[in-house]
Amino acid sequence: MEFSLLAIGEVMAEIRKGTSGDFKVGFAGDTYNTAVYCARALNQPGSVAYKTSIGRDPLSAGCIDAARSEGIDTNQISTNPERNIGVYAVSTDASGERSFSYWRASSAARGMFTDHDDVRALPNSRIVYLSGITLAILQPASRQALMNELRILSESGQSLIAFDSNYRAQLWESTDAAQTCLSEMWDIADIALPSIDDEMALFNETSEDAVISRFNEKTWEACAIKRGARGPVSPFLEPHAHPKFKTAEIVIDTTAAGDGFNGAYLAAYIQGQNETECMLSGHELASRIVSAPGAIVSQSRR
């Protein structure tokens, strides 16, 4: 069996304060969010798989149930009895911007690929998707082993590698390590889905044009550079050929907007849509996500 998409990363329990003052628990994490939204868009149960490691605690069990309810194949999720699933709490301000508190330092996902045979056992997948957060949480030797395998998969034509740098400085051991690693991943990747502000922050670029020019230097299978509410830009299209992107009428919570964009974009790509259609699908979903609280909006709001 070949999966349409295999996403690799960390899923966490999300604790969010509700409007009535109580706390609600869900499950989220950048690559997991992308997997969920891609699975929803494809509507082909079992075509999207998620690779992570969790514990044997009640929250970990709840995570498996949540993923299965979204039609995600969970056979690539391993359990570590000595560790738990990561946890984070999120709050939002009046403009929908988020602040987070994390309890993830000893999460099971951080121990992925310490056995390098696990890297070579990745299932057949049309697209393998990961992010800079995926790489940042891994041990340096494990992250390098994963990148080496991804390069083999890409160069052999076995899989397309999709990547979002999703730069979070606090997760990296140093800025130099992040720059070196993420530069290598952009060299490996076939599908580029960066956010322009992340790229500017990581590589100390002072203008959006500098980022766009850098991504123009490589030939991609697909590429959309996200710019939030203004919509993405693509090296495949001349500036005048980009569609007009509608902005969200209401912004409640920007959590997972970029992840949702990636999920819908990749689903459209898998379904054979062109670059413009892929970008419109991604932006339209992101606009809906920001109008509701939480990383994973309810099915009724798709």
Catalytic entry in 118, 164, 253, 259: 259
Tell me how crowded residue 99 is: count the other CB atoms within 10 A of its CB. 9
Q: 196: which 2 tokens?
A: 């322009």
Decide if 127 contacts 162 (C-beta within 8 A).
Answer: yes
Looking at domain 3-301, its CATH architecture is: 3-Layer(aba) Sandwich (3.40)
pLDDT in tens, 163-219: 999 999 999 999 999 999 999 999 999 999 999 999 999 999 999 999 999 999 999
Tell me the C-alpha distance between 33 and 39, whole Å: 10
pLDDT in tens, 70-101: 999 999 999 999 999 999 987 766 665 667 88
Residue 130: strand pairing partners: 163
First to last CA, the chain: 28
Choice among 27-41, 51-65, 132-146, 237-251 with the minimum mean pLDDT: 237-251
- 259 assigned to active site: yes
Strands (E) located in 149-238: 160-164, 191-192, 222-223
Domain boundaries along the sequence of the chain: 3-301
Tell me the C-alpha distance between 60 and 13, whole Å: 8
AA letter at 206: T
Name every residue whose Cβ is closer than 8 Å to that of residue 77 and which is 6 or more positions away in sequence. Answer: 50, 51, 52, 53, 54, 64, 67
Decide if 38 contacts 264 (C-beta within 8 A).
Answer: yes
